Chain A
Amino acid sequence: AQSVTQLGSHVSVSEGALVLLRCNYSSSVPPYLFWYVQYPNQGLQLLLKYTTGATLVKGINGFEAEFKKSETSFHLTKPSAHMSDAAEYFCAVSVLTGGGNKLTFGTGTQLKVEL
């Protein structure tokens, strides 16, 4: 069975600083990987996804993530944080099984952006 570990339930950065949210996964087969963002009182929306091909994936709002198979990681980065980036971020892994795709989520990282 696949699993996802997000290191750090809370991350705080200054506005303009680098954002780095860590995600490691375990999967016995090649996974599909996702980052979702949840703003207060809203549902989850897709930031970016890795399926196949280029391992550096660009998403919305200036975020990107790199799939590193050797490290089983899919860390999310943004060069310069903005106040509007404050939200909760979820990493997820999807693996195709006999019963179809199952999406498994990490426990989330709350990003705080300070002036």
Chain B
Amino acid sequence: EAQVTQNPRYLITVTGKKLTVTCSQNMNHEYMSWYRQDPGLGLRQIYYSMNVEVTDKGDVPEGYKVSRKEKRNFPLILESPSPNQTSLYFCASSPGTRKTGELFFGEGSRLTVL
């Protein structure tokens, strides 16, 4: 089944404790992206990657890191989480950067930073 898989789905952590949210897609998509969803703000892009070893900042990149060492994986790293990073995070992928831009989403990871 074609899918985008995120882990963990739920996580409670404390300020400053490094964490990684993994994302994997099995559709051989070139493009991958991370969004955060907050009430009243919709989805905002954190980082995106157009292909292996190519990443770039989205609209709200502060406090986050990403890497794209393999085509299928795009982990999101919070080196020193803070309470304002409490949010619902979505990973998404797309077949290619010069097509329509339609995204396929994972089921989300709800992060709480105390």
Taking A94-B100, A101-B98 as contacts, is the C-beta distance between A42 and B40 under 8 angstroms?
no
Interface size on B, residues (CB 8 A): 27
Stretch at the interface among B14-22, B64-72, B102-110: B102-110
Contact status A102-B42, CB under 8 Å:
no
Contact status B42-A108, CB under 8 Å:
yes
Contact status B42-A105, CB under 8 Å:
yes
Whether B83 sits at the interface, judged by CB under 8 Å, is no
Q: How large is the interface on A (under 10, 10 to 19, 20 to 34, 35 or more residues)?
A: 20 to 34
Contact status A101-B94, CB under 8 Å:
yes
Stretch at the interface among A14-22, A43-51, A69-77: A43-51
Return the CB mask of A34-62 against B: 1 if under 8 Å, else 0: 10100001111110010100000000000
Whether B90 sits at the interface, judged by CB under 8 Å, is yes
Residues on the A chain within 8 Å of B98, using CB: 96, 100-101
**Complex Cα–Cα for A43 and B44 (A):** 14
Whether A83 sits at the interface, judged by CB under 8 Å, is no
CB within 8 A of A51: which of B45, B100, B107? Answer: B100
CB within 8 A of A101: which of B43, B99, B104? Answer: B99
| Best-buried of A34, A41, A103, A108 by chain B (most CB within 10 Å) | A103
- From residue B5, how far is it (CB to closest CB) to chain A in Å? 11
CB within 8 A of B108: which of A43, A96, A103, A105? Answer: A43
